[in-house]
Every structure is written in structure tokens, then in C-alpha cells.
Amino acid sequence: LQRGDVLKFDVGCVVQGYSSDSGRTYTLGPARPRTREIMAALSDAFSAGLEVLKPGHLMREVHAGATRAMQRAGFSRFSRGHFGHSLGHDTFCEVPPFLSSQADEPLEAGMVLAFETPFYVDGEGGFIIEDQFLITAQGAQAAWSLPRELGCLPL
């Protein structure tokens, strides 16, 4: 590893039979300008998806919002199969329903979903913002309050 390298952490655990899923991105030392640009786009995409991650919206609307935000940020060829999933009884076991472009399922209060904006760039690294949410009548409630911005690990 070298100064400025990107480190993607995608972690989870199982508590009393239920799994969790979370992801964050860090750099080793100060971030390069391109890394900050990518993370700003992912943050915008996360915010755009989060705006519609509430009852009354279809899962595909979350996908559309996040995709449009990435494309507006200059990543015109950005494409992703899904931006999240339900959770099961095992970590890293993504189970339906998925927040995909084809998902016509409505978001309903009581659902627990992992919402993520991962991005992989050749020569740059893997990037992610991911949180687990409980869908409530008022909207999406995050399971934790970890900072979502790009982190910096000291050398």
C-alpha cells in the first residue's frame, strides 16, 4: 500500500440470527483529487437515493435517483445492477428484494434494507458508502450514525 491508496471496507456481523451490512471508504494518508471527486459523486448519489427511500416509492426509483446523480456528476457511463438489498441470516448474503432498475416492489414501513453506492474504478480502487435502514412511515432511519464522508487513515 502507498500514500493516497483507496481502502474499501464492506463489513457486517450477525447478532441473534440477523445480519448487518455497512461500507465505508478510506484513504491511506491524504486523498488524491480524483478520489475526492469520485467520493463526492457517490455522496450525491447516496443522498439522491435516500430522498426516495421511503414508503410510497418503488425500489426502482431509488436506483434511478442514484444513477442520475452519478451521471450528472460526470460519470456518464455509470451503470450498476442494484444499489442495495434486503438482509438475511448471513453476512454478505445479499437477498431479494434488490434496489434495481427493474424492481417494481413498493417500499413499505417495516422493511430493513442495505442501501449502497459502490463504485469500482480501474487504477483507482473500490469505493463505497453503505448503510442499513429501517423503512418507517416518516422515511428511512439509519441503523447507526457512522460518518459517511471519505475517511483518512494516518500513515
Label residue 29 exposed, middle or buried (CB < 10 Å: 0-12, 13-18, 19+).
middle
Q: What residues form DSSP beta bridges with 14?
A: 19
CATH number, domain containing residue 15? 3.90.230.10
Domain tally for the chain?
1
Residue 152 is assigned to a structural domain of this protein: no
Tens-digit pLDDT profile for residues 89-115: 666 677 789 999 999 999 999 999 999
Residue 154 is assigned to a structural domain of this protein: no
Q: Mean pLDDT across the stretch 102-131?
A: 95
Tens-digit pLDDT profile for residues 2-18: 999 999 999 888 888 88
Structural domain span for residue 95: 7-144
- Joined grid coordinates for residue 30: 491524504
